[in-house]
A and B are shown apart, each in its own frame.
Chain A
Amino acid sequence: AQKITQTQPGMFVQEKEAVTLDCTYDTSDQSYGLFWYKQPSSGEMIFLIYQGSYDEQNATEGRYSLNFQKARKSANLVISASQLGDSAMYFCAMREKLNTGNQFYFGTGTSLTVIP
């Protein structure tokens, strides 16, 4: 089974509108972390937001918020007031804490295009 699933290979959004990028995850661990990264054309993976499995509040960082629904195992990224510079690939990732150490899993990414 996939550990991280991103079902939207490509998304379009009008500038200044909000957009939600979907992410579901699969784990039987109690302690894990969820991340979103942005990858512009330069190739770097820029950290956007983090949600710990024990955090009760949804994480927010500026225009980014993570809609964490633990029972549904979903961690969707919401970008408000989209800007042209938000056009990029977005990756959801999970870190599991195993007895042997941390293990990371990444989704296949969603390509977001912001339309002027």
Chain B
Amino acid sequence: DTAVSQTPKYLVTQMGNDKSIKCEQNLGHDTMYWYKQDSKKFLKIMFSYNNKELIINETVPNRFSPKSPDKAHLNLHINSLELGDSAVYFCASSHIMGGANYGYTFGSGTRLTVV
């Protein structure tokens, strides 16, 4: 069973559309993240949720809205897609206890292409 699964794996859509990327983890982790990889190298953190509460919200356009219905899910909704949103988006989860991070697991990424 995949530990952190993202769907869809590939997404091609037109400018102006609204789309969602889903992420689910079955590891019992309490923290989930969204990263954007837009240069093949640098992964920029976008959001982090701990026990369904938003703990990191970096400067991203408010067209991006995360939703965490429960600890195992963190979805990313993007409104009014722009060409610059084309990137690979990674979901990840980890377990944080006493301030220490006990291991990360990443999803395999969602390649978003806006045309």
Contacts and interface: CB of A to CB of B under 8 A. Distances in A.
A43 B56 contact: yes
Contacts of B48: 43
Contact of A45 (B45, B109, B111): B45
A44 B42 CA distance: 8
Contacts of A111: 101
B90 A104 contact: yes
A23 B102 CA distance: 18
Interface residues of B, number: 23
A45 B42 contact: yes
23 contacts: A35-B41, A37-B43, A42-B45, A43-B33, A43-B48, A43-B56, A43-B58, A44-B44, A44-B45, A45-B35, A101-B10, A103-B108, A104-B106, A104-B109, A105-B106, A106-B90, A106-B105, A106-B106, A108-B103, A108-B104, A108-B105, A109-B101, A109-B104
A93 B45 CA distance: 17
B88 interface: yes
Secondary structure type dominating chain A contacts: strand
Q: Report, nearest first, the 8 A-B pairs whose CB atoms are least far apart.
A: A45-B43, A47-B41, A106-B106, A43-B45, A108-B103, A104-B109, A109-B104, A47-B42
A46 B42 contact: yes
Interface residues of A, number: 23
Q: Which of B58, B109, B111 has the most CB of A within 10 A?
A: B109
B17 to A, nearest CB: 21
Contacts of A89: 101, 104
Contact of A9 (B42, B103, B108, B111): B103
Interface string A55-86: 00000000000000000000000000000000
Interface in B25-67: 33, 35, 41-45, 48, 56, 58
